[in-house]
Chains A and B, each alone.
Chain A
Amino acid sequence: MIALENVTKRYGAQTVVDDVSIRFGQEGVTALIGPNGAGKTTLFSLVGRLVRPDAGRVTVGGLDITRTPSAELAKVLAVLRQDNHVAARLTVHDLVEFGRFPHSRGRLTVEDREHIERAIGYLDLGPFRHRFLDELSGGQRQRAFIAMVLAQDTKYVLLDEPLNNLDLRHMTEIMRLVRRMADELGKRVITVLHDVNFAATWSDRIVAMRDGAVVADAPAREIMRPEVLAAVYDTDVDVREIDGRPVALYYG
């Protein structure tokens, strides 16, 4: 379990995460939704130990993140950030290799190589493995980063807006992969998503944040109601049932 207990984070006078207590990490995919500035990314940064909470406690698999060595946490929790700019020229293979760093500290063993091969195969990156990251399309790049996360071989996976800047086909492709990671590999995936329809289609549970607090937390279907979405996003959202699936209409 990833557990946050009364966690608060302030930047100056502004409270970005306000006394949040929540548990993540049951089987399947959990989507974190909410308007810009709701505190989703900060919440991820708190769990990913990039920022320290001003109050409260965060544990991952029972380990208090402020007391556990970073390398130990990196074996149970992998985080993929929104913005993945890399200054150096790396190939896909180099990148996926980095996923093994928490286990091998850079000296690859036979087992590490197996994990790397499996991750590259799982994401169909074989043909691109020796390409440089700046030679890939957005979708391929995103897959390469997900392969790195997979090679890290952790129980918990946090993905911060994995669909950013992707077209329709690649968004679907990434979500299908995320689903497979949860179903076939048993990963507990928590992902920030902006498109509520993607969240409803591919996740089991949706957590909605607004103004630094969790305002809704329920199975995907229950969140997909006009009054709930309107309260979260502060805008009118119509929800229709199409082929038995709730679809939110918010295009104005």
Chain B
Amino acid sequence: MLTEVAPPAPAAPGRRAQLAAAWARPDVRVGLLGAVVAVLVAVYLFTDVPGSLAFALEIRSRAVAAMLVVSTAVGVSTVVFHTITQNRILTPSIMGFDAFYVLISTLIVFVSGSAAFLAVDELTLWLVQVTVMVAFSVLLFTWLFGGRRRSIHLMLLVGIVLGVFFRSLTEWMQRMLDPLDFQVVSDAMFASLTRPDETLLVLTAVLVAGGVALVLPLRRTLDVLTLGEPAAVGLGVEHRRVVMTLFAGVSIMIAASTALVGPILFFGLIVANLAYTYAGTFRHAWTLPVAVLLGMVCLVGGQLVLERAFGYGGTLSSVIDFAGGLFFLYLVLRKGAR
């Protein structure tokens, strides 16, 4: 009688191989990152409470909300900007957004004095800054991209020149300020995340959500744009219309979040580039959320370390600028080496 010989069981895939296979999946990676963010947020909210938990929660959840809004605005706009410009070492700040924001603040103090600057209610100030920044970017964009001439490079170049111009103008005005006024201006020059005004926070969140709503339906078209303009046009992308829409989204998000917390765009560079590596795919359906989550890790984690480990009440943005500068150098040098 023939006994059926069981074929040798296929070697069970090792734990290591299983893990590697799971790690290769973008959804697993995003899930893990989301878990890390959740833990960080929980630690930030619930540990080291000095008095009433309810009070601490109210203050802190507002800070977390601000960080989420800023991470979304900066992460999404930087990734989109990289894809439009086909360049991964730029941030939208190259268009002079940050410089313009500081210029507006300085100008107000310069013209009407710090007392008036502090007296203006925050909502009015925010509205003015958002409007002026959006108007500026729309003008620049339609001038250099909307007409017959349409060159993203020309637009970037003009943006850089204008940025330098704004900075020099700001510096010149700041030199003429009296020390007290200068103090007020320099406070405005560094991003501050921990004490956002509630109304402004809600308004900013609405604008940022609007920007995301413009960008997100175009995520697959963004994938095609990674091939560059000629190939994308060949594949049926209405390049001009798509880029206009994307740029409108970027401007709105950047203007709103910069007006809320101050200049913080440099941090988008770190977050976006880490996102490309971490997501392991060029697809925007993954790189966009990863950039936002990594932004949360940086901001919440950074704030935790600053506040709890060093007992430092200062602004996170100076640390981010320092770390961002080092990372930028690393990116440039690595690009050069290849």
Contacts and interface: CB of A to CB of B under 8 A. Distances in A.
Interface residues of B, number: 21
Nearest to B241: A70
A48 B230 contact: yes
Interface of A is mostly: loop
Interface string B190-232: 0000000000000000000000000000001101101111110
Interface in A6-51: 48-50
A87 B338 CA distance: 13
Given A98-B231, A106-B223, 11 more contacts: A50-B233, A74-B236, A78-B234, A81-B231, A81-B234, A84-B231, A87-B88, A98-B224, A99-B235, A102-B235, A106-B221
Contacts of A92: none
B226 A102 contact: no
A149 to B, nearest CB: 9
Contact of A86 (B227, B229, B235, B238): B227
Interface string B270-296: 000000100000100000000000000
Contacts of A106: 220-221, 223-224
A62 to B, nearest CB: 18
A49 B220 contact: no
B220 A152 contact: no
Interface in B224-279: 224, 226-231, 233-238, 276
Contact of B235 (A84, A89, A152): A152
B150 to A, nearest CB: 10
Contacts of A141: none
A67 interface: no
A247 B224 CA distance: 42
A85 B235 contact: no
Contacts, number: 67
A-B complex: 5 closest residue pairs judged by Cβ atoms: A106-B220, A74-B236, A71-B236, A88-B282, A102-B236
A87 B230 contact: no
A107 B238 contact: no
B78 to A, nearest CB: 15
B230 A50 contact: yes
A70 B230 CA distance: 12
Contacts of A101: 220, 224, 235-237
Contact of B233 (A70, A80, A90, A98): A70
10 contacts: A50-B230, A69-B238, A71-B237, A73-B236, A81-B230, A81-B231, A84-B231, A85-B228, A107-B220, A152-B235
Interface in A71-127: 71-75, 78-81, 84-90, 94, 98-99, 101-102, 105-107
Contacts of A79: 230, 234
Contacts of A71: 236-238
A48 B86 contact: no
B87 interface: yes
Nearest to B237: A70
Nearest to B148: A52
Nearest to B88: A87
A78 B234 CA distance: 6
B221 to A, nearest CB: 7
B282 A90 contact: yes
> Quick one: which of B87, B220, B235, B276 has the most chain A CB within 10 A?
B235
B235 A74 contact: yes
Interface in A157-178: none
Contacts of B236: 69-75, 101-102
Contacts of A87: 86-88, 226, 228
Nearest to B236: A74
B282 A48 contact: no
Contacts of B223: 98, 106
Nearest to A83: B230
Contacts of A84: 231
A234 to B, nearest CB: 29
> Quick one: which of A71, A74, A88 has the most chain B CB within 10 A?
A88
Nearest to B218: A106
Nearest to B234: A79
Contacts of A107: 220
Nearest to B219: A106
Contacts of B88: 87
B13 to A, nearest CB: 19
Contacts of B221: 105-106
Contacts of B86: 87
A223 to B, nearest CB: 28
> Quick one: which of B87, B233, B238 has the most chain A CB within 10 A?
B233
